[in-house]
């Protein structure tokens, strides 16, 4: 099944952006993020797109597992899309990178902005507050004195129907609003613009993506509750990608990767 992926097309598109960009597809792996982080810690710093049809130990933010429809082995691998991109990057400021990645993916999947929202800091939600996908960003220093960190961006998307069992947030899937969506074509549609966006982030930081995020911000203007118990009213994100929450004690700026947030009275994040 791995030969159904548009490897040559993607290699050509990515090589034009970053010479030597490799494209690999595997039938099964523990986690595409884990694999690229392993390679980076062993000194590997090559630009690569790694796609897995199934992950046996997919990971999400805050140490949570990431499970795709295909991971149990019963559903067709085409019901989900799981991949990671690894490349060296040296932005002046890493703040807001997951938001910029979300903006790029959402704009590729939903150019008119009628279906997808972005839930700070790393979730793709539908307009009904259901989770279509997630983003997991990690970095490593390939060599002790390396000038650039190696960035690993992992993305998981539900393409076909996804069982809600065990999920804190009701799942959504792409075929609900793109009935013909197939994982290989979705990959070809989102990855080259995403790599362009990441290179743009490396040059200019989050500022260039702030407007795109604000247009899809799922929390702005809503009452929210943080995982530390703080409650307040979300005023959107600032220019460094921090969440702005007006609380009884004043404006709180949330940038910690350890904090999660959800709409009050809504679904869990
Ligand atoms: C989240 O929702 O917290 C982030 C989910 C990220 C899942 C993707 S699937 C491809 C890559 N490999 C992983 O183990 N995780 C990311």
CA distance 254 to 63: 19
CA distance 209 to 221: 19
What is the residue-level pLDDT of the chain in tens, covering all 269 positions?
A: 688 999 999 999 999 999 999 999 999 999 999 999 999 999 999 999 999 999 999 999 988 999 887 665 555 667 999 999 999 999 999 999 999 999 999 999 999 999 999 999 999 999 999 999 999 999 998 876 677 899 999 999 999 998 888 787 889 999 999 999 999 999 999 999 999 999 999 999 999 999 999 999 999 999 999 999 999 999 999 999 999 999 999 999 999 777 899 999 654 44
Domain shared by 137 and 229, yes or no: no
CA distance 109 to 104: 9
Counting the structural domains of the chain, the total is: 2
Domain shared by 142 and 30, yes or no: yes
Q: What's phi and psi for 216, nearest 5 deg?
A: -120, 10
pTM over 0.85: yes
pLDDT score of 39: 96
Whether ligand 1 lies within 6 angstroms of the CB of 68 is answered as no
Domain shared by 117 and 243, yes or no: no
Domain shared by 42 and 27, yes or no: yes
**Ligand 1 atom closest to Cα of residue 133:** 2
User: Buried b vs exposed e over 230-240: b needs ≥16 C-beta within 10 Å?
Assistant: bebebeebbeb
pLDDT score of 71: 66
201, part of any domain:
yes
Whether ligand 1 lies within 6 angstroms of the CB of 82 is answered as yes
Whether ligand 1 lies within 6 angstroms of the CB of 260 is answered as no
Domain shared by 172 and 257, yes or no: no
269, part of any domain:
no
62, part of any domain:
yes
Q: What's phi and psi for 86, nearest 5 deg?
A: -120, 135
Element (DSSP H or E) covering residue 17: helix 7-17
Q: What is the CATH number of the domain that holds 233?
A: 2.30.30
pLDDT score of 269: 44
Domain shared by 43 and 24, yes or no: yes
Distance from residue 142's CA to the centre of ligand 1 (Å): 21
Whether ligand 1 lies within 6 angstroms of the CB of 121 is answered as no
Q: Ligand 1: which residue has its CA nearest to atom 15?
A: 59
pLDDT score of 75: 56
Residues spanned by the domain of 174: 2-216
Q: Ligand 1: which residue has its CA nearest to atom 11?
A: 154
By the 8 A CB rule, do 186 and 158 touch?
no
User: Buried b vs exposed e over 135-153: b needs ≥16 C-beta within 10 Å?
Assistant: bbbbbbebeeeeebbbbbb
Distance from residue 213's CA to the centre of ligand 1 (Å): 20
pLDDT score of 70: 62
241, part of any domain:
yes
155, part of any domain:
yes
């Amino acid at each position: 099944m791995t030969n159904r992926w548009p490897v040559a097309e993607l290699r050509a598109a990515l090589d034009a952006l970053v010479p030597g960009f490799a494209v690999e597809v595997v039938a099964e792996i523990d986690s595409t993020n884990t694999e690229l982080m392993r390679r980076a810690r062993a000194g590997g710093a090559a630009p690569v797109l790694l796609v897995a049809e199934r992950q046996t130990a997919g990971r999400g933010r805050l140490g949570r597992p990431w499970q795709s429809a295909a991971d149990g082995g019963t559903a067709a691998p085409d019901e989900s899309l799981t991949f990671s991109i690894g490349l060296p990057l040296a932005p002046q400021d890493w703040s807001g990178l997951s938001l910029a990645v979300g903006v790029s993916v959402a704009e590729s999947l939903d150019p008119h902005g009628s279906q997808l929202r972005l839930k700070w800091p790393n979730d793709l939600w539908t307009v009904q507050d259901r989770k279509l996908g997630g983003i997991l960003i990690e970095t490593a220093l390939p060599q002790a004195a390396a000038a650039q960190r190696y960035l690993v961006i992992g993305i998981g998307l539900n393409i076909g129907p996804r069982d809600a069992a065990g999920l804190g947030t009701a799942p959504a899937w792409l075929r609900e609003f793109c009935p013909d969506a197939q994982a290989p074509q979705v990959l070809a549609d989102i990855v080259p613009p995403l790599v362009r966006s990441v290179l743009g982030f490396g040059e200019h930081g989050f500022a260039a993506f702030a407007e795109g995020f604000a247009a899809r911000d799922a929390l702005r203007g809503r009452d929210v509750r943080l995982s530390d118990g703080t409650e307040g009213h979300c005023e959107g994100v600032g220019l460094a990608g921090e969440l702005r929450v007006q609380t009884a004690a004043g404006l709180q700026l949330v940038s910690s990767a350890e904090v999660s947030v959800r709409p009050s009275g809504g679904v869990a994040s």
